Structure 1
């Protein structure tokens, strides 16, 4: 066997490779810490190389999900800033907050990216993207229970070359990309790449008072056309520099730095439902928040400020006239991220090599939005998030004989995040009666540490047969200290922290028990200065058997585990909501077949799995059991589930020049039991057990938010060889994603949540026509995305359960065209 792990490989591709789409295309992946042919790796992997990404007009990470079975990667709505929601096989996360963890591990050149903020990476100078489905607890480690996504950039190879390309398209779209690699001196070489992009938005903001001067709502703009901003626009630039020293196969050292700057208006959103009679949220005196503020398919009435005033009290008459402070929100999202990493590989002997990866990453992100998309004053959050992340990994690959091969290693990471939020919620009520305004500065520092040791053993007792055994031990901790201050940034806010306001920051009542993994005490203490956290250890394992019956057929069976770390309440609105939640855990059983048939002109990979899911983390929007009425955003361990699924990927090249790709996945989610307190308040004397009662289990959405049952895609291209005139390649891709729940609980039939809260299914069609010169150094492409101009949503945001009385939707981009010219050299 070769040191790179390519033993028992299927024969080299016989079919011609066109645009990376051919059935016979040889794709090498590193999912098991060694170079392996995709078809020899006993994992469910979707691997897409740069040529295929280009052919499909895929420009960022979320685009890849259109053709990857059981994968959902979607840009978030404006309230979550420049982040994504990510799930694989039903496991994942939608919340960017640093006190919760993603369930899909994301990696940039083997460096873990710890947050969903900024994770919709632009595919600037990528060699390939690997999507690993199923728990990767022993390979990529923490928070990879659903799977992992590995972004692999192109490396300098000591030669001179590169490319430049320019794009112009719909709504004044301009994109510039390029890369150049060159030798520096001796065995030292470099590769420099960069990208710039801008495009006008597709959701138009209007000033409601300007358009309706007789409404009684004051105008906030002097614009003659009443326009305020175009949302969903793009304005970014990014760069990457890699320097590589590679004097021989025994030494490979690479230093990489990257930078991204993204500053634009918020994601495009529209109002779908509005109904809140609370006088404190009125757009103007006597003008309630209702359907009059629904603007249309691609417009909204967002404002950039909420005026001050006097609180109209309901349940607490003493608050009548309490001053409400004005606030501003610029409806923009900013992200600036960067990273530096050192990658080394040394051959220790002819049978062992050492790999180390040391990295430091950081990002700063600020965003604010008008949640109600109107001149009303429902909610106007602002977030300032800063993250600094250090990681170091070391592993040794060893080949003892043709029979035995192993990998052992260790990992350490430390993340320091500081989050500052400004909350302006005026809708808090009980039974329709206002209670109090919530205007405070929140957030606090968060520290997350993780230490792990791992190992994988490959045993080949017979030709074609491989047994893989892996294990990983992870010890992690998380800690934060809360602050909930008035707008002055000094004094505790009395509505969320009455104890702190009365007795001072950090006050602890007698016999108070610290908040932690063991639970909480009901003895009073201040929310300001309260320190909470999570710590735990976990061992994950993987056992796999695969057998290559012939060069055309590989069969494997695997059992593996994974987990997503626990934590503490990310957004408590009172001290009682500072509740811990434990890790969620997954045990998966999978069988799969990988085949290359008919002289490698048909590639068919099929996998089926059963996941046993324990202690699922779901967020509550209402939690009267923890502090009474009012907002809630509290993750809790909701229950256990069984998830079954099947996936198929096919690539066919029946004749020269014709390539067909397709995928299909189905997921069935069944709740085995649900914690009673997640669904409703406990009755006197009732324990918070995980109940299988249909009235309890049936209250949870199955599958939960962010997960779909059905996905499929099909694409085809035909390369027309025109001799001395070059070639012409038309391509069409069609992708379907099924509907998704809008909340974690099942809405009442006929309710606004049932009518508007879910994310409907959609079918997306993209087309592309590419011309190449005979030497293929010049390329011109015309792409049309959303060819049939389908109107669909990639996210919805339902706040009716929290009492806000609103549902918004983020429509996807309408039909767009783009002309791209590319020159290779």
Structure 2
């Protein structure tokens, strides 16, 4: 049974090893032991422990990334054209893209989530915060390892293992690996089969079956119309690290890793369809099967979809009056109709790195890290969630990049300090296909994104009057640019609607940090700080015609924070408090809208028709949909996003607590509140806070019993995670513009055997089987007929067996 008193956690947030409670930054630190007990196996699980933050797998159209929000600042777009607002580091190596960043946590020592700008301490500037993942270092002392096997709902089978081998007194090797496989919790249903099974075959018209195996005969009736799944996993990863100590005070670490991910796409379902809001092209295609794109394609369950990832109209089909399905060819090859995409992602991510740590003096350390990585990822997405083709898209992203960082840090009775330099360069490309009968075109994308970032930074804490009072100062000079060669053309190119341009967003910036710390007692710390943050200027990453080429300024803010770190009642209660205020000089705001497809003269095709202005858009913006532009006009509507440069303010408070009143009993959790305000462009635009709840909270309780008769201990644990309601868009009627609040519970029971070093754990996630959505993609705001949502998994049971040696 554990002793009474909360244990120290050592973090490296200030680029030196310090006690969490002595570090004047809002940090959530999660140890490997805590992650195991709370069932945290990936970055997407961190929502359960970090206040004012959300981590989750990206919505299906954005591929296998992780969507991250910290203190009201978020980014969901995984395009290489976007700038991450949260910097991810794994063992001092920077990961620049959200794609593939939902790390499988291999042999992790602990994770640190830092909230607020961190540009004077970390190589890459971070507007909202940083996630610092620290692996267990190879050890030259002992042979040790672990093997963990998990089985559970949806045919889940996970394997994790690690091994540390001392090869000599100054050389060690560690290897870790993971293999995960699980069937998705959302069913892909054969629509025609399902209508037959439900006794409503007329709703399917003459739509073909997804597979001939589902076709009924006199002797065969449909029992299950499932033809696939979404939301499943199929991941294999391995990591190896070698530590060499050639001389006292010198450590050289070489690391390589490889990840292969062919998981199913994220679950996604249509929650609302506005009848009639599709183009004449879609209507004429649907008429071939005697159906309409309407509410018949809403399954009524978050755990099923009629998405087929296919186009039922074959290539070269001629439909009178339909400009899309008319057999047109590019270079003599038919490309329209008959599209076939996979509902599985295809990701390869690998990298190598070298790190030197040299204690050049008793209190001075030099750290240098060089790494090279390559990410190659392909995914497709069926926007409309039906067996018809309204919009289908596929993307391949490739990025090769090098990072180098050097830091010189020191400590004396007067000051702690760090000086650093950072370099990052990458070659990125996007190859995509956007197949849209809704807009009567197919677009091909072949764009390049080549960013370069250079920075020098320094941070110092000066204590002129002794250890109790410290003054913090930091500076950062960064030089960033991104060379963009954007190529987005119609398959009948050349066309007046082709979008081709070259731009190079760039800036040099001087950022700063200032603060003061007061150590009132050994276990009570107060601090206050102010720091600037910024991001590179951007542009519309998905223009569909020249009128949508738009640039906007980057984020520019000052973040103020006051906080305290308290260990009270003989270290039985730990309470960390913070209040923050982020003042954005500029906050680029996206506003969803639509516009008409334009001809070479900039007029709506086929003629100049007056369109209704978008109420909350910039001057000249319009709205367009089949409701506003009736069938027969010939006008096609395109979704578009408008960007407005404006100021904004974010205020909030947060608290983290750990309570250990008696031996064996542990209660921990956090609560956070965030509020964003901006000028009154319109009520809808001001409050459009997708995936940013006002309140977040989590709490867990566990108690460990030592049971001599069982040769070990039994520890039950219950966790609760809460997110308040949040605005999801400006036009969707599915949720009355609000995603409801939700409370979710997880439970776990662990038996640990002391003599043989093994444990058995059984648990449940989403214990009470609550149906809810992670996020909503309000396509109706872009003029589409549908709104999609990503359902969270239902209750899932699991059993884990772990052996350590």
TM-score in same-fold range (> 0.5): yes
- Work out the CA distance in 1 between the residues paired with 2:688 and 2:489: 38
Deviations 1:124-154, CA, capped at 9 Å, x for gaps: 2111110001111222254511111111111
Matching of residue 362 in structure 1 with residue 363 in structure 2: no
Deviations 1:186-240, CA, capped at 9 Å, x for gaps: 4010100001111111111111122335432222212334322111111111111
After TM superposition, the structure 1 = structure 2 runs for residues 179-218 of structure 1, keeping only pairs within 5 Å, are: 179-212=162-195, 213-214=201-202, 215-216=204-205, 217-218=207-208
Deviations 1:132-182, CA, capped at 9 Å, x for gaps: 011112222545111111111111111210100111111111011010001
Normalised to the residue count of structure 2, the TM-score between the two structures is 0.88
- Work out the CA distance in 2 between the residues paired with 1:304 and 1:444: 24
Instruction: Identify which of 68, 81, 84 aligns with 1:86.
Output: 68
After TM superposition, the structure 1 = structure 2 runs for residues 2-41 of structure 1, keeping only pairs within 5 Å, are: 17=2, 24-41=6-23
Q: CA deviation at 1:277?
A: 4.1
- Work out the CA distance in 2 between the residues paired with 1:411 and 1:664: 35
Distance change >3 Å, CA 160–CA 571, structure 1 → 2:
same
Distance change >3 Å, CA 699–CA 813, structure 1 → 2:
closer
Q: CA deviation at 1:620?
A: 3.7
1:511 paired residue number: none
Instruction: State the secondary structure of the residue aligned to 1:280.
Output: helix
- Work out the CA distance in 2 between the residues paired with 1:277 and 1:386: 33
Report how many residues are paired: 734
- Work out the CA distance in 2 between the residues paired with 1:626 and 1:644: 31
Instruction: State the secondary structure of the residue aligned to 1:58.
Output: coil
1:505 paired residue number: none
1:155 paired residue number: 137
- Work out the CA distance in 2 between the residues paired with 1:311 and 1:132: 57
Deviations 1:576-602, CA, capped at 9 Å, x for gaps: 322212210120111101000111010
Q: Which runs of 5+ in 1 are unaligned?
A: 1-15, 429-436, 498-526, 674-693
Instruction: State the secondary structure of the residue aligned to 2:685.
Output: coil
Matching of residue 63 in structure 1 with residue 75 in structure 2: no
Q: Which runs of 5+ in 2 are unaligned?
A: 196-200, 215-223, 329-335, 596-619, 625-636
Contact preservation (8 Å) 1:621, 1:631: no
Deviations 1:716-752, CA, capped at 9 Å, x for gaps: 0000011252110000000101222223xx44xxx52
Q: CA deviation at 1:92?
A: 2.3
Instruction: Identify which of 727, 747, 752 aligns with 2:733.
Output: 752
Matching of residue 448 in structure 1 with residue 428 in structure 2: no
- Work out the CA distance in 1 between the residues paired with 2:318 and 2:538: 38
Q: CA deviation at 1:654?
A: 0.2
Deviates more, 1:778-787 or 1:344-353: 344-353
Deviations 1:666-724, CA, capped at 9 Å, x for gaps: 112111x2xxxxxxxxxxxxxxxxxxxx4x24231436222111011110000001125
After TM superposition, the structure 1 = structure 2 runs for residues 245-284 of structure 1, keeping only pairs within 5 Å, are: 245-247=244-246, 250-275=249-274, 276-282=277-283, 283-284=286-287
Contact preservation (8 Å) 2:490, 2:497: no
1:704 paired residue number: 689
- Work out the CA distance in 1 between the residues paired with 2:137 and 2:41: 20
Contact preservation (8 Å) 2:123, 2:422: no
Q: What RMSD in Å do the two structures reach over aligned CA positions? A: 2.1
Instruction: Identify which of 309, 317, 334 aligns with 1:304.
Output: 309
- Work out the CA distance in 2 between the residues paired with 1:579 and 1:599: 58
Matching of residue 111 in structure 1 with residue 101 in structure 2: no
- Work out the CA distance in 1 between the residues paired with 2:623 and 2:688: 29
- Work out the CA distance in 2 between the residues paired with 1:486 and 1:209: 32
Deviates more, 1:777-786 or 1:329-338: 329-338
- Work out the CA distance in 2 between the residues paired with 1:270 and 1:473: 45
Deviates more, 1:464-473 or 1:632-641: 632-641
Instruction: State the secondary structure of the residue aligned to 1:265.
Output: coil
- Work out the CA distance in 2 between the residues paired with 1:259 and 1:245: 22
2:342 paired residue number: 330
- Work out the CA distance in 1 between the residues paired with 2:489 and 2:650: 43
Instruction: Identify which of 514, 531, 548 aligns with 1:543.
Output: 514
- Work out the CA distance in 1 between the residues paired with 2:644 and 2:109: 39
Q: CA deviation at 1:340?
A: 0.8
Q: CA deviation at 1:534?
A: 0.2
Matching of residue 295 in structure 1 with residue 275 in structure 2: no
Distance change >3 Å, CA 719–CA 754, structure 1 → 2:
closer
Distance change >3 Å, CA 417–CA 361, structure 1 → 2:
same
Q: CA deviation at 1:398?
A: 2.6
2:723 paired residue number: 737
Contact preservation (8 Å) 2:594, 2:783: no
After TM superposition, the structure 1 = structure 2 runs for residues 409-428 of structure 1, keeping only pairs within 5 Å, are: 409-428=420-439
- Work out the CA distance in 1 between the residues paired with 2:458 and 2:651: 28
Contact preservation (8 Å) 1:42, 1:556: yes
Q: CA deviation at 1:789?
A: 0.3
1:654 paired residue number: 661
Instruction: State the secondary structure of the residue aligned to 1:482.
Output: strand
Contact preservation (8 Å) 2:51, 2:696: yes
Normalised to the residue count of structure 1, the TM-score between the two structures is 0.86
Distance change >3 Å, CA 493–CA 721, structure 1 → 2:
farther
- Work out the CA distance in 1 between the residues paired with 2:24 and 2:541: 38
Q: CA deviation at 1:349?
A: 2.3
Distance change >3 Å, CA 284–CA 263, structure 1 → 2:
farther
2:469 paired residue number: 465
Instruction: State the secondary structure of the residue aligned to 2:296.
Output: helix
Q: CA deviation at 1:93?
A: 0.7
Q: CA deviation at 1:439?
A: 0.3
Q: CA deviation at 1:66?
A: 1.5
Matching of residue 229 in structure 1 with residue 250 in structure 2: no
